[in-house]
Amino acid sequence: MLDIHQILKQLPHRYPILLVDRVLSVEKGKTIKALKNVSINEPYFMGHFPHRPVMPGVLMLEAMAQAAALLAFDTLGVTPDDKTVYYFAGIDGARFKRPVEPGDQLIMDVSLERMKAGIFKFKGITRVGDEVACEAELMCTMRTIA
């Protein structure tokens, strides 16, 4: 379990793009369960959409990718430094099953499917309660920058 202070030490993201509030469980090399509380105060709700606030699907994918990064770091036993960047390498089979609105709590279940040549492949499912909101296969990689 990681709280927000531990997450901030692992991920370089900050407001408004940090999308993981807490890690509920991690099974090294296998799975992570993380949560994101969705608040009306999120900056994207001003324009998406003023009459019916809905969390953009790409941000659900980003939230899953951030959870995946935390799983990757735990799996490798590393804490990234300022020279390490974790990138999306691909997204497959993304499906959005229900809108996510202010007041919802996203529970992200991400499992590591494969790790080869510095490319990580994950399967992610995001739920609100018992309902699937988003699912996708994510490919990510770490790079060292100058």
Q: What is the pLDDT of residues 98-120, one digit of tens each?
A: 999 999 999 999 999 999 998 99
Q: Please say if the pLDDT value at position 83 is more than 90.
A: no
Spatial separation of the C-alpha atoms in residues 67 and 71, rounded to whole Å: 6
Q: What pLDDT is attached to residue 144?
A: 86
**Residues forming the active site:** 48
Amino acid residing at 73: F
pTM: 0.96
Q: Please say if the pLDDT value at position 82 is more than 90.
A: no
Q: What is the pLDDT of residues 16-51, one digit of tens each?
A: 999 999 999 999 999 999 999 999 999 999 999 999
Domain boundaries, the chain: 4-144
Q: Please answer whether residues 110 and 70 qualify as being in contact, where contact means their C-beta atoms are separated by less than 8 angstroms.
A: no
Torsion-angle region of 61 (φ positive above 0: left; ψ -120 to 50: alpha; else: beta)? alpha
Query: Band of the pLDDT at 93, cuts 50, 70, 90?
Result: very high
Q: Which option is the CATH number for 4-144: 3.40.50.800, 3.10.129.10, 1.10.357.10, 3.30.360.10?
A: 3.10.129.10
CA distances from 128 to 14, 42, 105, 132, 134 (A): 23, 17, 6, 6, 9
Q: Please answer whether residues 88 and 144 qualify as being in contact, where contact means their C-beta atoms are separated by less than 8 angstroms.
A: no
